[in-house]
Structure 1
Amino acid sequence: MQNVLIISGHPNLSGSIGSATILDEVARVLPDVAIRRLDDLYPDCEINVAAEQAALLKADVIVWQFPFSWYSLPGIMKLWLDRVFVHGFAHGSAAKLGGKKFILSFTTGAPQALYSSHGLFGHTLEDYLMQFETIAALCNLDLQKPVYTCGLSYADRSEAKIAAQKAMAKEHASRLIAALKISAPALKMVG
């Protein structure tokens, strides 16, 4: 059986609609998937490097689940990356992660239309993913097609908006589950 590890990089998952719903749906359908919630594990930002590296070594498929924060990773996840993906473990001649499948799963607050050469940001969303492609190449990870959903903004928390965000997040979770079925076909599915 293939082991899937999801690293949740949301800085406050208890206040999340999108990421929390995505993780809840994945856990419901794929109960054997390991989910490491960095905000719960490390509220003091003291990353247990040995525990994180051990979890990564067990995984065949690594998923990073996070909200796009300033066009990159949230702070807790960037700190995790800096401390855990060190030379000799994640990259270099003694690297240990090579060949594992790697999936980016993220949400953005801004709508998709703003991510274009003619949109407000002046760049496509794919332009911002180059940094992750470089990480995958350096670590010899097998980068899969990303799973993302745009427009999960925190600006409006009306009941209607929350319901719409939950629906978008459930649809995102369905796409992530489908990607995991392809990347790890021996996964145990429920319901």
Structure 2
Amino acid sequence: MQNVLIISGHPNLKESIGNATILGDVTKTLPEAEIRFLDALYPDYQINIAQEQEALLKADVIVWQFPFSWYSVPGLMKLWIDKVFVHGFAHGSSAKLGGKKLIVSFTAGAPEGLYSPEGLFGHDIGHYLAQFETTALLCNLDLQAPIYTCGISYAGRDEAKVREQKAMAKEHAARLIAAIKDAAPALKMAV
């Protein structure tokens, strides 16, 4: 069986609708996947580097699950990457992560239409993914197609909006689960 490691980069999952729903559905469908909730593990931002690197070494498939924050990962997840993905471990001549599969999965608050040359941000969402492509290339990770959902925002959360966001998150979770199963063929038989 292939090992799946999911890094939850949400800074406060207790306040999440989208990421919490996604991770809840993944947990139900793939209970053997290890999920590391950075907000719960490191509320003081003191990353246990050895423990995180050990979890990565055991993984065949790595998933980064997070809310898009200022066109990147949230601060805690950025710190995690800075501390854990160091030269000699994640990249360089003695790197240890080569060949593992990486899935980048995220929610964005803005509607997808704003991520276009004609939209407010002036770029499609793919332009913001170059940093993940470069990281995967540097670390010799096999980057899979990204899984993302736009329009899951903290703004205006009335009951109807919450229901809509949960439905969007469940659809996202289904796509993520399918991507994980595609990346880890042994899971197709086990689940």
TM over 0.5: yes
Match of 2:121 in 1: 121
Matched with 1:47 is 47
Q: AA paired with 2:121?
A: F
**1:164 Cα deviation from its structure 2 partner:** 0.6
Aligned length: 189
Indicate yes or no: 2:148 matched with 1:148.
Answer: yes
For the residues of structure 2 that align with 1:32 and 1:9, how far apart are their CA atoms?
19
Q: Counterpart of 2:4 in structure 1: which amino acid?
A: V
Give the Cα separation in 1 of the matches to 2:57 and 2:109: 32
The 5 Å alignment of 1:40-119 reads 40-119=40-119
TM-score w.r.t. the length of structure 2 is: 0.98
Where do 5+ consecutive residues of structure 1 fail to align?
Answer: none
Deviation of residue 181 (structure 1)?
1.0
* CA distance in structure 1 between the partners assigned to 2:24 and 2:169 by the alignment: 10
Instruction: Give the whole-Å Cα distance in 2 for the aligned partners of 1:181 and 1:10.
Output: 23
* Residue in structure 2 matched with residue 160 of structure 1 by the alignment: 160
2:110, 2:63 → 1: CA distance? 22
2:184 paired residue number: 184
Once the two structures are TM-superposed, the CA of residue 156 in structure 1 deviates from its matched residue by: 1.1
Cα displacement string for residues 90-147 of structure 1 (whole angstroms, at most 9, x for unaligned residues): 0000000000000000000000000001110001100000011000000000000000
Other structure's SS at 2:35 match: strand
Instruction: Kindly report the root-mean-square deviation, in angstroms, between the aligned alpha carbons of the 2 structures.
Output: 0.5
What is the letter of the counterpart of residue 112 of structure 2? Q
Aligned to 1:174: 174
For residues 5-37 of structure 1, the C-alpha deviation after alignment (integer angstroms, 9 at most, x for no partner) is: 000000000000000000000000000000000
The answer for the alignment partner of 1:33 in structure 2 is: 33
Partner of 2:9: 9
In the alignment, residue 51 of structure 1 is paired with which amino acid?
Q
CA distance in 2, matches of 1:148, 1:53: 26
Cα distance, 1:4 vs structure 2: 0.4
